[in-house]
Amino acid sequence: MSQRRGDAEAYLVRIGSRVELFTGHPIRPGVGYFQVGPASFVERNFRQGTVC
């Protein structure tokens, strides 16, 4: 599933109640970044723009 936050875009892979979030690094342009954790926490923080 593709998600957007402002001009940021990410791919979210749901596995049960957990997700993998693939996006660009929040402070280093051109560098990839991924995060794994509870869906409610990871997705909410991405949409609100907070760095985990």
Closest to 48 (Cα-Cα) out of 19, 8, 17:
8
Inter-residue long-range contacts of 9-15, CB under 8 Å, 24+ positions, other chains counted: 10/46, 12/42, 12/43, 14/39
The pLDDT score that the predictor gives to residue 6 is 60
The pLDDT score that the predictor gives to residue 1 is 56
Written as six digits, the tokens of 45 are 């923080």
From first to last of its 52 residues, the chain has per-residue pLDDT tens of: 555 556 678 888 998 999 999 988 777 888 888 899 998 898 888 888 765 5
Verdict on whether the full-model pTM lies above 0.85: no
**What percent of the chain is predicted at pLDDT more than 90?**
19
